[in-house]
């Protein structure tokens, strides 16, 4: 079955590529030559929605582009429904900036604060924000979110992979600046806009980030998209129990490929 699922997934991505990218012949070339002497270190994907995204020519870096722009994995229209036009958004674990680009298109007046712990991924996020003319309202912070300010240690493979983090299995350990959720919210509010949307994908650090935050920091949050991971001693129930008294309850959940892994979407009733 794993082989069948892998073949089916590859077939799906091949089918999606011409409809997703204006430069799909170049994309196919980069995909086909990735593990040959003709491979290029980077690839630039020119989306039919007008965006262009530059990433390392590596599987883990490509994944969110298809996930967000082809699959609409976050259900962006529903996630942003009812938010204020000038809401502030926290994109925690922003990888190369795809979610930030998508939410900026969905909310054309919103401000987006991207936090990305991987130095490589953060540099690509900054580049993609700049190349798409969004630097005036999308800010990229090369820092991790954690339970408190300080430093954060993670595994980084250097290829802007979505799997970089404390649960990563390949790469080298790097130490980066860390910012608490409370201070990230305070910084985003400094422009006068309430933080109404939080997207969080931090590869296992979500328990530290959420459970050590102040309930007051969630006062304006109206929608949350949160990926949870298997971390010893923790479970999704803890996160839901923390957020429920704050008025945030699930409206959708998708289980992952192993116990303790999945996505949950919450909304303020």
Per residue, the 3-state secondary structure of the chain, as one string, reads CHHHHHHHHHHHHHHHHHHHECCHHHHHHHHHCCCCCCCCCEEEEEECCCCEEEEECCHHHHHHHHHHHCCCCCCHHHHCCCCCCCCEEEEECCCCCHHHHHHHHHCCCCEEEEECCCHHHHHHHHHHHHHCCCCCCEEEECCEEECCCEEEEEEECCCCCCCCECCCCCCEEEEEEEEEHHHHHHHHHCCCCCEEEEEECCCCCHHHHHHCCCHHHHCCCCEEEEEECCCCCCCHHHHHHHHHHHCEEEEEEEECCCCCCEEEEEEEC
Which pLDDT value is given to residue 199? Answer: 98
Q: What is the mean pLDDT of the chain?
A: 91
Could you report the per-residue pLDDT of 22-35, keeping only the tens digit for each?
999 999 998 888 88
Q: What are the pLDDT digits (tens) for 201-240?
A: 998 899 999 999 999 999 999 999 999 999 999 999 999 9
The residue ranges of the chain whose pLDDT is under 50 are 1-5
Residue with tokens 């502030």: 88
- The tokens describing 128, both together, are 């993609």
Q: How far apart are CA 102 and CA 123, in angstroms?
A: 18
The pLDDT value given to residue 5: 42
The per-residue pLDDT for 238 is: 97
Name all domains of the chain by residue range, CATH numbers in brackets: 1-71 (no CATH), 74-268 (3.40.50.150)
- Supply the pLDDT for residue 233: 94
The pLDDT score that the predictor gives to residue 167 is 55
pLDDT value of residue 60: 83
> Cα–Cα distance between 107 and 25 in angstroms, integer?
31
| Other CB atoms within 10 Å distance of the CB of residue 129 | 24
Q: How crowded is the C-beta side of 29, counted as CA atoms within 13 Å? A: 13
């Amino acid at each position: 079955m794993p082989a069948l699922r892998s073949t089916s997934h590859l077939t799906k991505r091949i089918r999606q590529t011409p409809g997703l990218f204006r430069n799909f012949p170049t994309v196919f070339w980069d995909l086909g030559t990735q593990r040959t002497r003709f491979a290029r270190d980077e690839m630039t994907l020119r989306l039919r929605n007008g965006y262009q995204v530059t990433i390392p020519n590596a599987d883990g870096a490509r994944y969110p582009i298809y996930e967000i722009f082809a699959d609409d994995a976050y259900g962006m229209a529903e996630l942003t429904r009812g938010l204020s036009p000038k809401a502030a958004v926290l994109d925690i674990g922003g990888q190369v900036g795809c979610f930030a680009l998508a939410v900026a298109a969905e909310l054309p007046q919103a401000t987006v604060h991207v936090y990305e712990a991987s130095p490589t991924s953060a540099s690509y996020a900054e580049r993609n924000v700049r190349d798409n003319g969004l630097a005036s309202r999308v800010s990229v912070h090369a820092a991790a979110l954690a339970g408190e300010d300080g430093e954060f240690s993670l595994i980084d493979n250097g290829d802007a992979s979505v799997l970089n983090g404390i649960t990563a299995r390949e790469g080298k350990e790097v130490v980066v600046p860390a910012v608490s959720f409370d201070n990230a919210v305070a910084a985003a509010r400094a422009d006068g806009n309430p933080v109404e949307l939080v997207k969080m994908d931090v590869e296992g650090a979500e328990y530290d980030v959420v459970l050590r935050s102040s309930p007051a920091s969630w006062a304006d949050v109206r929608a949350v998209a949160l990926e949870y991971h298997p971390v010893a001693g923790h479970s999704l129930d803890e996160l839901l129990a923390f957020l429920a008294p704050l008025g945030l309850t699930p409206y959708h959940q998708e289980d992952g490929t192993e116990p303790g892994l999945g996505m949950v979407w919450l909304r303020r009733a």
